[in-house]
Amino acid sequence: TLKAPCNPSKIVCVGLNYRDHAEEMKDKIPEEPVLFIKPSTAVIGPKESIIYPKMSNQVDYEAELAVIIKDKIKDIEEDHVKEHILGYTCFNDVTARDLQKKDGQWTRAKSFDTFAPFGPTIVTNIDPSNLNIQLLLNDQIKQNSNTNQLIFSVEKLVSFISKIMTLYPGDVIATGTPSGVGPMNVGDKVAVKIEKIGILENNVIN
């Protein structure tokens, strides 16, 4: 079994970081990155199964580009970020949407075991600012965008987060999802496909 390509101490996720998704959600463009954290216990790798939690009635996919941190960093300026990035991979920010709405904050909805699939590999030396990104549900395209729609760049995100918390080698930053988010059901196959990186595929089980 191909496991997740690293073991993060934490996964820092960014909400509302695509212009098309902000429009879809009828939300204002944020002035600063909106952050939340997924626990390391949510991590799974390619081909591993996403478990549909019994307390939720709507579990959504969210295709994202993930940044993998190379070394311990704190208070990094944007023009020094690239030297501290190990590489990039595919990420699915699985979300119990009904619980997110119910709670009014995101911890429970984002933190179930298996809710942080990423992989299949970490790709280095690519430009993260212009990559096609797609989500396929049972081989049908549901999300189709490009990282040129990011509101906050990778450099901005890593610098901003490093000024809040120390980042460690293998930590993951999930950079937000484009428009087209929607529900998955038990038995579905879900795949995140990012240009120059590959395909992250998982099945949904109960």
Q: Give yes or no for a contact between 157 and 103, defined as CB atoms under 8 angstroms apart.
A: no
What is the signed CA dihedral for 86, 88, 92, 95, rounded to 10 degrees? 50
pLDDT tens string, the chain, 206 residues long: the values are: 678 888 999 999 998 899 887 777 777 888 999 999 999 999 999 999 999 999 999 999 999 999 999 999 999 999 999 999 999 999 999 999 999 999 989 999 999 999 999 999 999 999 999 999 999 999 999 999 999 999 999 999 999 999 999 999 999 999 999 999 999 999 999 999 999 999 999 999 99
pTM (2 d.p.): 0.96
Domain annotation covers residue 28: yes
Core vs surface per residue 7-38: b (16+ CB within 10 A) or e: ebebbbbbbbbbbbbbeeeeeeeeeebbebeb
The boundaries of the domain holding residue 185 are 11-204
One-letter amino acid at 192 equals: V
Domain annotation covers residue 145: yes
CATH of the domain at 51: 3.90.850.10
Helix (H, G, I), strand (E, B), or coil: what is residue 21?
helix
Q: CA 66, CA 132: separation in Å to the nearest integer?
A: 14
Question: What's the pLDDT at 22?
Answer: 77
Question: What's the pLDDT at 26?
Answer: 75
Question: What's the pLDDT at 55?
Answer: 97
Domain annotation covers residue 143: yes
Domain annotation covers residue 110: yes
Question: What's the pLDDT at 29?
Answer: 86
Domain annotation covers residue 4: no
Domain annotation covers residue 191: yes
Question: What's the pLDDT at 152?
Answer: 97
Q: Give yes or no for a contact between 121 and 89, defined as CB atoms under 8 angstroms apart.
A: yes
Domain annotation covers residue 5: no
Domain annotation covers residue 1: no
Q: How many domains does the chain have?
A: 1
